[in-house]
Chains A and B, each alone.
Chain A
C-alpha cells in the first residue's frame, strides 16, 4: 500500500527557507496520515541539504518509534534536542521514549526541561507525570498530571494516568473517579477497566474486579495488566486453575512478563506444588531480571521450602525505588529475619524500608508490632491514616495506631482504632456465626471408625492465641520430638473418617525421621475423631486466661483465616462455644492421653512445665527445651517471631489491664 504513495521531490538545492519549511510541513502531514515513504524521503532530503536539521531528525525519531525501533528513535530525537532552538515538544518526546526504554533519569531530565521551556503543553506535563510516577515521586507526579488535565480536561489518557498516581498515593476513591470519568468519555478504553479491576481486588470486590478485567481483555486482548488482575481475582476467589489459565494466556504472548511469571509461581504454590512453584519463580527471575515481583515470588517459594538464606537473598535483591513489589519484599525480608530469630536485624530492615516507603501501611504495622511505639511513630501513622482512602490501608493503619496508642498508655483511643480496624476487616469477610456454632456443637457426634493404634502423633490443641505454638516450640527442641507445625492433613482427611488414621500416618511418618513423636497443631473440633481414628495418639490442650485471650484476638490482624475474630460479639460467642467444646473433650477423652497445660504456667515456670509435658510423653528431660528460642529455622504465623526471642510475661494480665474496655465490648 505504501508503494502507491508519492510526493513531489524537492529541488536538490533547497535554497530557500520557505522550501525547507514546506518540505517539513508536508513530511509531517504524510506521517500523520500514515504515508511513511514520502515522509521519510522528505526528511532525508532536508537532512541532505541541512545535516542535523532538528525538525527532520525529530520526525525520523517519531517514525522509528512508530515502527517499533525505540533505540533508533531515541538516537534521532536526542540529536534533534542538541539543536539550540529545539522546542519543548522534542524534549517531551525524548522524555517519553526514554521512559519506555527504562532510562528514567534521562527521561526525568528531558521531561523537566520540556515543561520549563513551555508550561502550556498538556502532553509534556502528562509525560513528566508518568515518569515521576515510575520514579516513585507520586506527589509531584500528581501535580504534573493535574496541570495536564487542566489544560485538556477531557483527555482520557491523562485521566487514566492520574488515577494510577492517585492509587499509588493511597487515594483509591479519587483514582476510581478519574477512571470512571475516562470510561464515561471513552467506553471502549481498556486501561481504566484493568485499573479498576486492580482497585476492586484490593477492596476485596473480586467479582466486580473480574468483570472489569474481562472487559479490558475483550477490548484489548494484549493488555498484560488485565490478565494479572483477572488472575488475582480468580486466586482470591479460590479458583486457582482459572488463575493459571489467564496467566498462561498472558505468557503466551508476553513470555518475559515478570509480574505474570511471579503470579504464576504463587498460583502453583497455592495449588500445593512447591517444587513447580519454585521452578516457575526461578524462570520468572531469569526472564524478568529487573522484576521485583519475580524476586519476591522466588523469596516466598524458597521461604516456604525452609531455605531461609536463599529466600532472604532473593527478597533483598528486590529494591526498585518506590516500587510496590520492593516494599512487599522488604516486609517479607524483615518478617523472615524475625521468624528466624534475627529480630534486631528485622527492626533495622523495617526502619530502612520505611525510609524508602514512608507511606506503606503494611510496613508501619509490622514495624509497630515488632517494637514499642514512640510518640513520633504514632503521630506519623495518625497523619497517614488521616490521608489514607483505601480501605486496605486504613485497616492496617488502624491496627498499627491502636497498638501504638496502647503502648503509649492512651487506652481509649487505642481501643477506638482497634475497633475501627476490626470493623473494616469484618466488612471484607463472609462469616456465618450460627453455622460456626452449630459446627462446633456437631463435632461432639463422632462417627465410629476403625482405629490405627500408633503412638506417633501428638496433637496440640486449644483456642486461638492460647499459646499452642509456644508449647510446640518448647517440645520440638527435644531430640525425640519433631515439630511439624500446623499440618493441613487433618482438615483435609476429616471428610473421610474411615481412612483418616491410615492416611494420616502415611503422610506424617516420613517426617519423624526416627523420632518418637510428631507434634501437630490441629483444630479443636477434630479431637474426638482423631481419638477414634488414632486411639494411641496423645493430646496436649493449652489453656489461657479468657480475657487475655480475647484481648489478644481483638488486638491483632491475623494472616491466618480466623473470620470470627473481627466483631466482638462474634468473637465472644466463638470463644464460649470453643471453650465448651474443649471442656467436653477433656471430660470424654481418656485422661491418660490428655494433658492440660496453662500458658501462664509455661511462661512463669518453663522448666517445670516442660518436664511435666515430657513426662506425659514418657521422655527423659532435655535441657534444650529451655533454649527453644535458639532453635534454627523459621517459625511461621502471626506474631510467631516472638518464639525466637526469650519468653517474657508481657502479654500476661493484659486482659485485666484492659478489663473495662473489654467489658464494654462484651468480651
Chain B
C-alpha cells in the first residue's frame, strides 16, 4: 500500500468508527519511521482516541523534535501532556493555543509584557479571561494566588455575564471590568489561561480553597423557595453544551438520551440554556420534570441553584464549573476522549472534589454512561 492510499484508507476507516483498524493501517506503513508529518499527526490522534496516550505522546514528541518550529504540533503535544497530568511541560506548550490556523485571529494583541509570575509590587497587572465561560469559572480560582505572588494592583477584565459573581467573590482583585471596557493604565498582563504557566500550577496544588465563587444570598433564597415543593433528591440537568464549541458533537446529547434517569422519588429541573432547553417541554416519560431554564436569567441563578439542588447531572459544559466553584456537586458525563482538564482513568477530579465523573466506556456510548448514572441516582435517592 502506498502512503497516499494508507492515508485515505485510515481516514475512511476512522470516519466509519473503526479507529483501531485505522491506526493499524497507519502503523504498518509508517513502521519504517518515515512518512509525511500529517499522517503521523493523525496516527497520534487515533491513538489518543484509543487511550494509548504514551504512544501518542511519543509520536507528538517526535514530531515536535523533528519540526521544532511547528507551533500547532506543540499544541497537540500540550493537550496530551495535560490530559495525562504532566502539567509542568503541558502548560509550557499550551502557550501556543493562539498559534493554530483557526485561533490566530483570536489572540489579543496586548501592548504590554506578559506577566511570568514574578513579583511586581507597585505595578498594575491586567488579567483578562478568554473564550468559554467554563474556563473562566474554573481558572478564576488562580486570581488570589496571582495577587499574592505579584503583589501588584490586580485588575480583572472578565466577560459581562461573570462580572457580578466575580465582584461578589472578591478573589483578591482590586478592580473588575466587563470585557472590552476601557481598562486603567497597566504595566503587565496575563491571559487567564496563562496563569497556570505563570504560577507553575501543579496537580497537587488542586483544588485550592473552595468555594471561591460566592452566590447571591437573595437568589439562593428565591430558589430555595421555588424548589421547596419538589421532593428530594432534586437533580438539575444540562445535556448540551454551546453548539459552536469545536467538540460539541462529541460532548452533547439530548434530553431523551437521559430517559433512564427518570425514576420515582427523584425531581428534575433544568439549567440547560440555548435551543436545547426546548426539549424540557416534552420530557421522557417517567421523569418528574420541572422545566426551569426560562427562569434562569443569569449565572447568579445557576449559582443559587447549585446551593439548593442535590446534584447537577451534566455534560462537559459551564454549569459543571459554576457548581464546582460555588461548592455544589455535579456528576459529569464525559466522552470517551474527554477534554484535557478531566484527565483519564479516574472517576473524580482534582479540580472539584465533590464532583463525580462518568466516562464513556467506548466512543459514543452514552447509554452505558446514563445507565451507570441511573444506578448511582437510585443509590442517592435510597440513601436520602
Contacts and interface: CB of A to CB of B under 8 A. Distances in A.
Given A1-B131, A30-B182, A252 B110 contact: no
A35 B160 CA distance: 15
A499 B335 CA distance: 65
Contact of B71 (A67, A221, A249): A221
Contacts of A245: 66
A221 B180 contact: no
Nearest to A33: B183
B106 interface: yes
Contact of B183 (A29, A186, A246): A29
A32 B179 contact: no
A6 B180 contact: yes
Interface in A208-233: 217, 221-222, 227
A250 B66 CA distance: 10
Contact of B67 (A1, A7, A188, A252): A252
A26 B67 contact: no
B229 to A, nearest CB: 39
A252 B69 contact: yes
Interface in B149-202: 157, 159-160, 179-183, 185-186, 189
A222 B111 contact: no
Interface in A128-160: none
A29 B185 CA distance: 7
Given A33-B157, A249-B66, A249-B67, A4 B112 contact: no
B106 A26 contact: no
B149 to A, nearest CB: 16
B157 A221 contact: no
Contacts of A32: 110-112, 185-186
A93 to B, nearest CB: 12
Contacts of A241: none
A34 interface: yes
Contact of A66 (B111, B112, B130, B183): B111
Interface string B286-297: 000000000000
21 contacts: A1-B130, A4-B160, A6-B180, A26-B182, A30-B182, A31-B111, A32-B110, A32-B185, A33-B126, A34-B108, A34-B109, A35-B180, A38-B182, A217-B69, A221-B70, A221-B71, A245-B66, A249-B68, A250-B69, A252-B67, A253-B70
Nearest to A5: B180
B108 A29 contact: no
Contacts of B112: 32
Given A33-B182, A34-B111, A222-B71, A188 B116 contact: yes
A186 B113 CA distance: 12
Interface residues of B, number: 29
B304 to A, nearest CB: 26
Nearest to A226: B68
A304 B45 CA distance: 47
B185 to A, nearest CB: 7
Interface string A30-57: 1111111010000000000000000000
B100 to A, nearest CB: 14
B74 interface: yes
A34 B108 CA distance: 5
Contacts of A26: 182
A245 B182 CA distance: 47
Interface in B42-68: 66-68
Interface in B230-265: none
B69 A29 contact: no
A227 B68 CA distance: 9
Closest 4 CB pairs of A and B: A5-B180, A34-B108, A253-B69, A34-B110
A251 B180 CA distance: 39
Nearest to B160: A4
Range class of the A interface residue count? 20 to 34
B116 to A, nearest CB: 6
Given A4-B179, A33-B182, A221 B111 contact: no
A31 B112 CA distance: 10
A473 B67 CA distance: 49
Contacts, number: 76
A31 B108 CA distance: 10
A518 to B, nearest CB: 40
Contacts of B74: 221
Contact of A67 (B109, B159, B186): B109
Contacts of A34: 108-111, 128, 189
A515 to B, nearest CB: 44
Interface in B89-130: 106, 108-112, 116, 126, 128, 130
A190 to B, nearest CB: 12
Nearest to B113: A186
B109 A1 contact: no
Contact of B69 (A1, A6, A67, A222): A222
A249 B180 contact: no
Nearest to A26: B182
Contacts of A38: 180, 182
B182 A29 contact: yes
B73 to A, nearest CB: 10
B273 to A, nearest CB: 18
A6 B177 CA distance: 13
B228 to A, nearest CB: 38
B108 A1 contact: yes
A221 B110 contact: no
B152 to A, nearest CB: 16
Interface in A8-40: 26, 29-36, 38
Interface in A249-265: 249-250, 252-254
A36 B182 contact: no
A249 B69 contact: yes
Contacts of B109: 34, 36, 66-67
A664 B205 CA distance: 70
A33 B69 contact: no
A245 B62 CA distance: 13
A26 B160 CA distance: 20
A134 B131 CA distance: 42
A36 B71 CA distance: 25
Contacts of B180: 4-6, 35, 38
A252 B112 CA distance: 30
B114 to A, nearest CB: 10
Contacts of A30: 182
Interface string A435-473: 000000000000000000000000000000000000000
Contact of B110 (A7, A33, A227): A33
A252 B67 CA distance: 7
Contacts of B157: 33
A548 B112 CA distance: 67
Nearest to B108: A34
Contacts of B111: 31-34, 62, 66
Nearest to A63: B109
Contacts of A222: 69, 71
A546 B9 CA distance: 74
Contacts of A246: 68
Nearest to B92: A218
Contacts of A254: 69
A441 to B, nearest CB: 45
B192 to A, nearest CB: 12
Interface in A164-217: 186, 188, 217
A7 B178 CA distance: 12
Contacts of B128: 33-34
A254 B109 CA distance: 23
A8 to B, nearest CB: 10
A328 B159 CA distance: 57
A5 B181 CA distance: 7
